[in-house]
Structure 1
Amino acid sequence: MNAASPAVFSMRFPFRFLRALAGGACMALAIGIAHADDYADVNQLLRSGKADQALAKADTYIAGKPRDPQMRFLRGVILTEQGKRADAVTAFTSLTQDFPELPEPYNNLAALYAQQSEFDKARAALETALKLNPRYTTAQENLGDIYARLAAQAYARTEQLEPGRATVPPKLALIRQIFATPASGALPAAPVDNRKPVRQ
């Protein structure tokens, strides 16, 4: 996540963004075999670095089947990978409105909010995802990252208000250490989860 908090403290978190690119127990129960080729084609285009073509194919598919949650989810992933955050937020928000029982769009909304340092919105989205699926470990881990980020902001603010306070720097250092990569000290990019939304 990109931090846009006070200059005193800035870090990136390994926020787990859900993708629709690999198998596993996914929406296979909610879709027919005939559609599998369409999803595979869009996924292949995206994996091949042809995001524009993937988006065009997804849009064509959705024009004929506007209630298909899996392709709409995949479209949101494509928009995110293209850096079209506002469009991705719109896509995932629309999914939460049309399919409020799916936790995965809430997770991806949280990732997008977190990238914009909107941590209260991210926390609310993750809490919703976890109400829908209390065993959703990706959302649970992301919620932990959000709480750590909120804690870091509070500690940074404390340092600004009282620079000589001895208890704060070790806490900030610990949070930075948790998310730093051991080799270079650089902070990691956000890894990607490979599950798809499951319509319940």
Structure 2
Amino acid sequence: MRNRLLATLIALAVLSAPAAWAADAASVSQSLQKGDLNSALAQVDTLLAQKPQDPQYQFLKGVILTEQKKDAQAIQIFQSLTEQYPELPEPYNNLAVLYAQQGHYEKARAALEMALRTNPSYATALANLGDIYVKLASQAYQKALQLAPDENASARVKLNLIRELFEQGKNPAGTPKKGTPAQPVTEAQPAVKPESKPAAAPAP
């Protein structure tokens, strides 16, 4: 999931963004593309020193911290953004990604539902919510099997289907892998996708 964070950073200078912000963001994006996270973070901190309440700069810092695997700090930034700008769905989505990586799937679900409350047509959040529901379902099936393994044959079948679903998602060709033992999966990871920028941030 982390490697997807940089996928669209090259397009940070979107037409809807102010020209000054687009230029600054493009400079930070270049540092990110080079893998120079420390330089990118220093640039964003400089920008935030000038505009500490700017939601785009705060969001970008959260993305950089996520790339640095400083999840606690990234969560703090995205959480703060949801409080300052509750109308922005992207911080909720990225919170959900971080929660899912930590195994906090109920928190991830709640964050995604908030994202969709602010923007019901937010396709990324909808897809991520589907993945979270699948993970929650797999946990429920696993628990049912642990409590009564002989009475829940259907739960075992559904767990195997979930496992095959995630295996197909990992396969670039989109075809099931052969020779894979049919066992219930307990650690299927939802492919929740983070955002690299807010679509339209309000003026502070």
**TM-score (norm: length of structure 1):** 0.82
Range with bigger deviation, 178-187 or 101-110: 178-187
Moved over 4 A (4+): 16-20, 183-195
Measured after TM superposition, the shift of residue 188 of structure 1 is 8.1
Measured after TM superposition, the shift of residue 34 of structure 1 is 2.0
Residue pair 2:96, 2:111 contacting (<8 A) in 1 also: yes
Range with bigger deviation, 138-147 or 158-167: 158-167
Give the Cα–Cα distance (whole angstroms) in 2 for the partners of residues 117 and 189 of structure 1. 10
Measured after TM superposition, the shift of residue 199 of structure 1 is 2.1
Flag the 1:169–1:191 CA change in 2: closer, same or farther, 3 A.
closer
Flag the 1:44–1:190 CA change in 2: closer, same or farther, 3 A.
farther
Give the Cα–Cα distance (whole angstroms) in 2 for the partners of residues 133 and 55 of structure 1. 29
1:102 aligns with 2:88: yes
Measured after TM superposition, the shift of residue 132 of structure 1 is 0.5
Corresponding position of 1:21: 9
Give the Cα–Cα distance (whole angstroms) in 2 for the partners of residues 153 and 42 of structure 1. 40
Instruction: State the number of aligned residues.
Output: 185
Give the Cα–Cα distance (whole angstroms) in 2 for the partners of residues 66 and 171 of structure 1. 49
Flag the 1:105–1:18 CA change in 2: closer, same or farther, 3 A.
farther
1:121-149 deviation digits (Å, cap 9, x = unpaired):
11110000001100000000000001000
Structure 1 unmatched ranges of 5 or more: 2-13
1:196 aligns with 2:183: no
1:71 aligns with 2:57: yes
Corresponding position of 2:139: 153
Residue pair 1:119, 1:146 contacting (<8 A) in 2 also: yes
1:50 aligns with 2:36: yes
Give the Cα–Cα distance (whole angstroms) in 2 for the partners of residues 189 and 151 of structure 1. 12
What SS does the aligned partner of 2:11 have? coil
Q: Give the counterpart letter for 2:162 in structure 1.
A: I
